[in-house]
Copies of this chain bind each other. A is one copy, B any other.
Amino acid sequence: MTERIYNFSAGPAVLPEPVLEQAREDLWSLGDSGVGILEHSHRGGPFDAVIEAAEADCRSLAGVGDDHAVLFLQGGASTQFFMLPANLLPEGGTADYVNTGSWSKKAIKEAKLYGNVHVAGSSEDENFSYIPDLASLSCSDSPTYLHFTSNNTIFGTQFQSEPTPPAGAFLACDGSSDAFSRPIDLTRYGVYYAGAQKNLGPSGVTLVVIRRDLLERKERELPTMLRYATHAEQGSRYNTPPTFGIYLMGRVFRWIQDQGGLELLGKQNEEKAALLYDVLDESAFYEAAAKAGTRSLMNVTFRTPSPELDAQFVKESLAAGLSGLKGHRSVGGMRASIYNAFPRQGCQVLAEFMKDFAQRNG
């Protein structure tokens, strides 16, 4: 088989190799069913077992009980940007958003179609290179919810803990880029959503965990497919769901269990990121793009002294088998995305490469 390289892609991103190996088997025949996972009816017994296991493992990892529904939807976080306010923001109501980057801005834009948006905090003044101090957030009087983007893929910043919504408001979160990468208490959230393609599986499936009492709200007439209640009532099978995506997300949840759960996985992720941040902090050559104290454990953003050296870094690292390190155009420099499944050894190899590159070009 072809040798795999270190893939620092920001998403879709690297998956655990044991999960890929299992998927290759199950593509041909799921267990001994004689039918591949892609070809099983979403209403048959074998897929029942797949989706039930995925939900059970999700619940057990994140401590989610029956007060929340666990949904597997389509359309990515970009669809949740409007589904959330469409379902839950009353006409004339206000939702509070923390603006920490491109994805927050898109979420804000869609919410404005349905009600008022109050920006409770922003780091736009310094090109989103930090997370606003939680104590400094200024919420509106009685928002329906407070929304934040827990990790900002492009800028490499991450909330260190959840903001607290005002009394009566629920907490809403786009967790796409750090989902299940460290312990999380989802019972604190009204709506938590995450596109799978960074930490949880392939693109094309979105995890939505929603407090059941919110399902009863009906702020406006909506198409059947856009109502959270439709999917909750039908166990994510009102229509044909993305079966393979759900299968893979389930396998990733199981893999996280095998790693020892979110506590141990979180420690691994901290150690992986530290390998890279240590190089940045000990070097006069590199500059970390995100401010200390709000740096992401998932996306490590940094620059060399010049755009020319940045380009050379990307070119040479690719030749050395380190793929996907070019930063987003709105930040420049480099970005190493090291989600759950990214191997520690890849971080070690990159750290050595960084040191060597600095020495040769510093």
Residues of chain A touching chain B, judged by Cβ–Cβ distance below 8 Å, are 1-5, 7, 9-15, 20, 23-24, 27-29, 32-36, 38-42, 44, 74-79, 81-82, 86, 106, 109-110, 113, 195, 197, 202-205, 221, 223-226, 238-245, 248, 321, 323-324
Interface pair A2/B15, CB less than 8 Å apart: no
Contacts of A75 in B (CB 8 A): 74-75, 79, 225, 239
Evaluate whether A35 and B244 lie within 8 angstroms (CB atoms) in the complex, with A203-B42, A223-B86, A238-B78 already known.
no
**Option from B3, B38, B81 in Cβ contact (under 8 Å) with A248:** B38
Interface pair B42/A243, CB less than 8 Å apart: no
Contacts of A15 in B (CB 8 A): 36, 38-39
28 contacts between A and B (CB under 8 A): A2-B32, A5-B34, A5-B35, A9-B41, A12-B38, A12-B40, A12-B42, A12-B240, A20-B36, A23-B27, A24-B27, A34-B321, A34-B323, A42-B203, A44-B324, A74-B242, A75-B75, A78-B225, A79-B225, A82-B223, A110-B224, A197-B240, A202-B243, A202-B244, A204-B242, A204-B243, A204-B244, A242-B242
Interface pair A41/B10, CB less than 8 Å apart: yes
Contacts of A204 in B (CB 8 A): 74, 204-205, 241-245
Please name the residue on chain B nearest to A195 by beta carbon. B240
With a 10 A CB-CB cut-off, give which of A42, A203, A221 has the most chain B CB atoms.
A203
Interface pair B11/A240, CB less than 8 Å apart: yes
Contacts of A44 in B (CB 8 A): 9, 324
Interface pair B29/A223, CB less than 8 Å apart: no
Contacts of A23 in B (CB 8 A): 27
Interface pair A78/B224, CB less than 8 Å apart: yes
Contacts of A205 in B (CB 8 A): 204
Minimal beta-carbon separation of A283 from chain B (angstroms)? 27
Contacts of A4 in B (CB 8 A): 28-29, 34-36
Interface pair B27/A39, CB less than 8 Å apart: no
In the complex, A81 Cα to B230 Cα: how many Å?
15
